[in-house]
Amino acid sequence: MNGSILFDILKKSKENKEIIGIWKYNDSEGFWSGYVRDYNEELVTIQHFTKYGKADGVIIERIENIKCIDFDDDYAEAMQCLIDYSAELDKETKIEVTLNDNEDWQLGILKQVKGRKDIIARLEINGSDYFSGFITKISETDLILHCLGKMGEDEGAVIYRLEDITSVRINDIDNRKRVMLYNWRKASLKSS
């Protein structure tokens, strides 16, 4: 264990409860987020958290199965925010969506969330691509979506044609997570 950068990272995570991301060999599921509870030469015990910051049990893994570790990065800071405020994600802002019976269903629905900074929409475009963000402007034919990334990153404004929108999701937990992290990022920028 002496002299290994890997063990230095595990030690730091354990001592400071710092979030790390652990990638395994031959695991297509992605990676685990959490902090190290304990470790030795052979095994590591991780307090695991879901992508929404909810405690998700303990994982025990063999050190030799670890492909790499993400640490000290933007993702770890964002995950810590989600863990600290995970109860807030459960609080869904209520919105009553009124349906209309005409062909412009997208216009009718999206006008109801236009300009809101507490609710974002996820748009399915042409049945295959998904984009989430704030509806900042809308016309009879198109709209401007201020896109937010999965971890609340500001991805800028994009114009979409209303006729290309095949489905809409409003205020689901994934979108609430994006808004929370977007607001956290904005507050972090102001304080720096």
- Complete domains list, the chain, with CATH: 5-89 (2.30.30.100), 105-191 (2.30.30.100)
27 token code pair? 């695991």
Specify the pLDDT at position 75.
Answer: 85
Tokens 């689901």 sit on residue: 172
Highest mean pLDDT among 18-27, 100-109, 131-140: 131-140
Q: Is 116 exposed, middle or buried (0-12, 13-18, 19+ CB in 10 A)?
A: middle
Please report the pLDDT score of residue 103 as a whole number: 73
pLDDT (0 to 100) of residue 76: 87
**pLDDT interval class at 3 (50, 70, 90):** low
User: For residue 67, what are its two tokens?
Assistant: 């492909």
Residue 14 has, within 13 A of its CA and on its CB side, a CA count of: 14
d(CA 42, CA 105): 58
Please, where are the H alpha helices in 21-166? 74-84, 86-89, 105-111
Which of the 8 DSSP states describes residue 7? H
* pLDDT of res. 131: 96
Note the pLDDT of residue 60: 95
